[in-house]
Structure 1
Amino acid sequence: MAAVRVCGVDDLAVNEASRFVVDGVPIAVVKDAAGDVFAIGDTCTHGDISLAEGFVENDTLECWAHGSMFSLRTGKPLTLPAYEPVPVYQVQIEGGDVLIDPAVTLTV
């Protein structure tokens, strides 16, 4: 599958997660204060909870339900109770649009 437009860069609030479903895959997208855009799997590996409903701090996204924090750069959990990572997706910015291909995950 090719990368799909999920939103415009300007549609994303700084340091807030937004949830998108791309080809059936739930993805949390975050724009940080520097304007970098990250995309990680939207489902917490501990409790089947939407991470986009959580809290962004620096380069982490915290699950609102149990407090697990995931790196936006690697998808790795940084705190318990989660111990499995979430996928990280490649983000392309073209003409102010955010493009994501859910078939392409990054390994960091």
Structure 2
Amino acid sequence: MIRACDVADLPEGEAVRILAHVPIAVFNAEGAYYAVDDTCTHQDASLADGWLEGCLVECPLHAASFDLRTGEPTCLPAKRPVRTYPVLVTDGVIYVDTNVREEVA
């Protein structure tokens, strides 16, 4: 488990980037926390710098969009999903379990 940040430091609609084996973006989307690989699968861009609408994040480079719950792309130009990670909130701290990675196709 990697400590991402305090709950108070990640307001709704915002994201934070953490470093693990790869960069990971942690989002507060509609009061739920999600973690995905930070790099867009279409081209190297930080999803933490993207635009969040509900549970979808739009890449800041070419507007590819991903569902934070599944990692699946919802529109072109991205065709491959981003990896997702379990998130745990304990005592007001957000943790990402980088040991349990959902494999992407």
2:18 aligned with 1:31, yes or no?
no
2:46 aligned with 1:50, yes or no?
yes
Q: Which runs of 5+ in 2 are unaligned?
A: none
Partner of 2:77: 81
How far apart, in 1, do the equivalents of 2:45 and 2:85 lie?
19
TM-score (norm 1): 0.89
The Cα shift of 1:103 comes to 2.2
Partner of 1:103: 99
How far apart, in 1, do the equivalents of 2:29 and 2:80 lie?
24
Instruction: Name the count of aligned residue pairs.
Output: 103
Q: Which runs of 5+ in 1 are unaligned?
A: none
Q: 1:93 aligns with which of 84, 89, 96?
A: 89
Q: Letter of the aligned partner of 1:15 in structure 2?
A: G
TM-score (norm 2): 0.92
Pairwise CA RMSD:
1.2
